[in-house]
């Protein structure tokens, strides 16, 4: 007889997918989150879905050299939540987060810690961990964040195939608890807002959980545009290595408009939380793009085009157009400039 469930939350996926829905870009700094209410809503969802008591939420994120930030320390204090940290390197890249999720799932499955696992992630690298947990008799459900159309956002095909089911979390709850960041909000000072942890900064939105939709529709992927052979420079690295000439294929003239829209959204979202020092560093490091912005540009263009892996040609053009868009718009005022 089944008795308990457990939640495994990939915070990077949860926050970037929620930011995409609310702010139009996967940049985590584009939004503020009521973490206390969101954690409670995730537990309510899981318990309503399976009729089981949730043991705890295992919350996975990266910290600078494995050390939690002030915000992460506050998250760790939430009831029935265990913070598990990987590392953030000097280049901003996350290390060890997926490995911690996979190892914990396998260990908990072997020890019989819970009978049903809810995995809030879309990462293809977790497919094998899901299959290993299932081999120990655990049912694994992927709990996806919905996109603007209500479809599962960013869940890999292999992960969907491996999971016992895919459920879609409430978009209304995300809209209530995740907000587009106000200008000069807490990111500028590094001090979390009280609203992030159930404080009185704003009234907590009422949260109601209905039994979720199981086996939601597949993520819609747009058909690729017509392709025309051209000779173009291919960017050889993420941070400024010289490009080399190579015959490749690029999309039609609408590609530039699509890339520019992605760059504009990311730039405006970043400016809403950027300190004066960060803005100065952006200009001083030109033509290199800070790792968090670069990663967001790649993810957002991938989402916009429905392509899981962008070609070198697209990556080069995206990074080139970022600076063109920045020069055309200057440093726009995020108060008056509205991102649809």
**Is 283 or 35 the better-scoring residue by pLDDT?**
35
Contacts of 5 (CB under 8 A, 6+ apart): 46, 47, 50, 52, 53, 54, 55, 114, 115, 116, 117, 118
- Digit-coded pLDDT (tens) for 127-161: 999 999 999 999 999 999 999 899 999 999 999 99
| For residue 219, pLDDT beyond 50 | no
CA 98, chain centre distance (Å): 13
* CB atoms inside a 10 Å sphere around CB 277: 9
pLDDT value at position 3?
86
pLDDT value at position 44?
97
| For residue 242, pLDDT beyond 70 | no
Q: What is the phi/psi pair of residue 170, to 5°?
A: -65, 120
Q: Which CATH class is domain 4-197?
A: alpha beta
Res. 119 pLDDT band, cuts 50 70 90: very high
pLDDT value at position 183?
59
Mean pLDDT of 2-13: 92
Res. 1 pLDDT band, cuts 50 70 90: very low
| Mean per-residue pLDDT of the chain | 79
| For residue 237, pLDDT beyond 70 | no
Mean pLDDT is lowest, of 26-30, 43-47, 332-336, for 332-336
Mean pLDDT is lowest, of 12-16, 38-42, 239-243, 299-303, for 239-243
Mean pLDDT is lowest, of 138-142, 302-306, 315-319, for 302-306
- Digit-coded pLDDT (tens) for 253-270: 788 889 999 999 898 888
pLDDT value at position 99?
93
pLDDT value at position 197?
52
| For residue 51, pLDDT beyond 70 | yes
Mean pLDDT of 10-17: 94
Q: What percent of the chain has pLDDT over 70?
A: 74
pLDDT value at position 333?
53
Contacts of 22 (CB under 8 A, 6+ apart): 30, 31, 174, 175, 178, 179, 180
- Digit-coded pLDDT (tens) for 91-109: 566 788 999 999 999 999 9
**Is 67 or 176 the better-scoring residue by pLDDT?**
176
pLDDT value at position 295?
86
Please report, for the chain, the start and end positions of each structural domain, with discontinuous segments joined by +. 4-197, 227-329
Lookup result for tokens 């747009």: 222
Mean pLDDT of 30-42: 95
pLDDT value at position 271?
86
pLDDT value at position 236?
33
CA–CA gap between residue 121 and residue 195 (Å, rounded): 24
């Amino acid at each position: 007889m089944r008795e308990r469930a457990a939640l495994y939350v990939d915070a990077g996926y949860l926050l970037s997918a929620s930011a995409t829905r609310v702010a139009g870009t996967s940049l985590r700094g584009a939004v503020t989150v009521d973490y206390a209410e969101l954690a409670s809503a995730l537990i309510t969802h899981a318990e309503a879905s399976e009729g089981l008591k949730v043991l705890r939420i295992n919350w996975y994120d990266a910290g600078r050299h494995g050390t939690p930030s002030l915000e992460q320390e506050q998250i760790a204090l939430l009831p029935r939540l265990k913070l598990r940290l990987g590392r953030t390197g000097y280049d901003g890249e996350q290390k060890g987060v997926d490995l911690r999720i996979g190892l914990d799932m396998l260990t908990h499955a072997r020890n019989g810690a819970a009978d049903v696992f809810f995995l809030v992630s879309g990462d293809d690298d977790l497919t094998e961990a899901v299959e290993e947990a299932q081999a120990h008799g655990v049912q694994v459900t992927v709990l996806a964040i919905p996109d603007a159309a209500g479809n599962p956002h960013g869940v890999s095909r292999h992960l969907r195939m491996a999971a016992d089911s895919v459920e879609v979390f409430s978009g209304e709850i995300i809209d209530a608890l995740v907000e587009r960041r106000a200008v000069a909000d807490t990111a500028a000072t590094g001090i979390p807002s009280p609203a992030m942890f159930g404080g009185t900064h704003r009234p907590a939105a009422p949260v109601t959980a209905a039994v979720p939709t199981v086996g939601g529709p597949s993520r819609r992927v747009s058909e690729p545009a017509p392709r025309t052979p051209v000779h173009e420079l291919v960017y050889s690295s993420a941070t400024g290595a010289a490009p080399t000439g190579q015959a490749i294929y690029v999309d039609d003239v609408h590609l530039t408009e699509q890339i520019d829209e992605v760059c504009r959204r990311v730039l405006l979202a970043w400016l809403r939380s950027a300190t004066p020092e960060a803005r100065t560093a952006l200009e001083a490091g030109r033509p290199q793009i800070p790792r968090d912005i670069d990663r967001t540009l790649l993810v957002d263009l991938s989402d916009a085009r429905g392509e899981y892996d962008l070609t070198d040609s697209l990556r080069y053009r995206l990074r080139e157009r970022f600076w063109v868009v920045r020069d055309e718009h200057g440093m726009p005022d995020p108060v008056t400039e509205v991102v649809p």
